[in-house]
Amino acid sequence: MRKAEIIRKTAETSVKCTLDLDGTGENTIATGVGFLDHMLTLFAVHGRFDLMVQCQGDTWVDDHHSVEDIGIVLGQCITECLGGKNGIRRYGSMFLPMDEALVLCALDLSGRSSFHMDVHFAAEKIGTFDTQLVKEFFLGLTRSCPMSLHFREMAGENDHHVAEAMFKGFGRALAQAVELDSRLNGAVPSSKGVLA
């Protein structure tokens, strides 16, 4: 059972997240940030993860604290679901097309945090959502679930499509990486014998 529930409360946000890596894509997302709700729904559906996220945050300040803290909590859920990472494939990658946009997402559940994002949004906002918060979300996630995570924009004009390609691609790449490989017989996929 690769499931987790994490609750994080600070003076700025209250976040609850449940995650099942072996789900069907069922999701209930209510973050108080509409665009992030949309992106997390795409992540869950395309990764086939069952995901519930609830957040009450100080969005009257702006969306930054909520978006970052949700990234942190989702990362903590992934970490808890994976335990010692026995038997997982470890690596995942996806070239994700979304209309005119094309984004590469590649990741390694190495236990070491490294985030690289070669994606350039044309505008400061998508609707009311600050485009720079996409990076903050994934920074929070990779700090609490240490992995090497790379995004590279190969093509794109519409910022909404580029962001969609990132979250869908991340869902697909993560699904590959957490998949159990029967050839490993439960071993950790590392020549060191540990992913940390």
pLDDT tens figures, 102-152? 999 999 999 999 999 999 999 999 999 999 999 999 999 999 999 999 999
Of all residues in the chain, what percent carry a pLDDT higher than 70?
Answer: 100
Q: Return mean pLDDT, the chain.
A: 96
Joined tokens for residue 58: 């100080």
For 84-99, what is each residue's pLDDT tens digit?
999 999 999 999 999 9
What's the pLDDT score for residue 56?
97
- Whether the per-residue pLDDT at 53 is higher than 80: the answer is yes
Within 34-113, residue ranges assigned H as helices are 34-47, 64-82
- Whether the per-residue pLDDT at 186 is higher than 90: the answer is no
What's the pLDDT score for residue 119?
98
DSSP string, 52-64: EEEEEE-TTT-SH
Of all residues in the chain, what percent carry a pLDDT higher than 90?
Answer: 93
- Whether the per-residue pLDDT at 189 is higher than 90: the answer is no
- Whether the per-residue pLDDT at 196 is higher than 90: the answer is no
pTM for the full model?
0.96
pLDDT band at 15 (very low <50, low <70, confident <90, very high): very high
State the Cα–Cα distance between residues 70 and 115, nearest whole angstrom.
17
Q: For residue 157, give the H/E element and its range.
A: none
Q: CB under 8 Å to 41, separation ≥6 — which residues?
A: 27, 29
Residue 91 has a CB neighbour count (10 Å cut-off) of: 15
Which CATH superfamily is 3-184 part of?
Imidazole glycerol phosphate dehydratase; domain 1 (3.30.230.40)
- Whether the per-residue pLDDT at 8 is higher than 80: the answer is yes
pLDDT band at 195 (very low <50, low <70, confident <90, very high): confident
CB–CB of 55/32 below 8 Å?
yes
CB–CB of 142/115 below 8 Å?
yes
Q: CB under 8 Å to 29, separation ≥6 — which residues?
A: 37, 40, 41, 44, 51, 52, 53
Tell me the sheet residues that pair with 172.
none
3-state secondary structure 160-176: HHHHHHHHHHHHHHHHH
State the Cα–Cα distance between residues 24 and 5, nearest whole angstrom.
17
State the Cα–Cα distance between residues 39 and 165, nearest whole angstrom.
9
What's the pLDDT score for residue 79?
97
CB–CB of 68/75 below 8 Å?
no
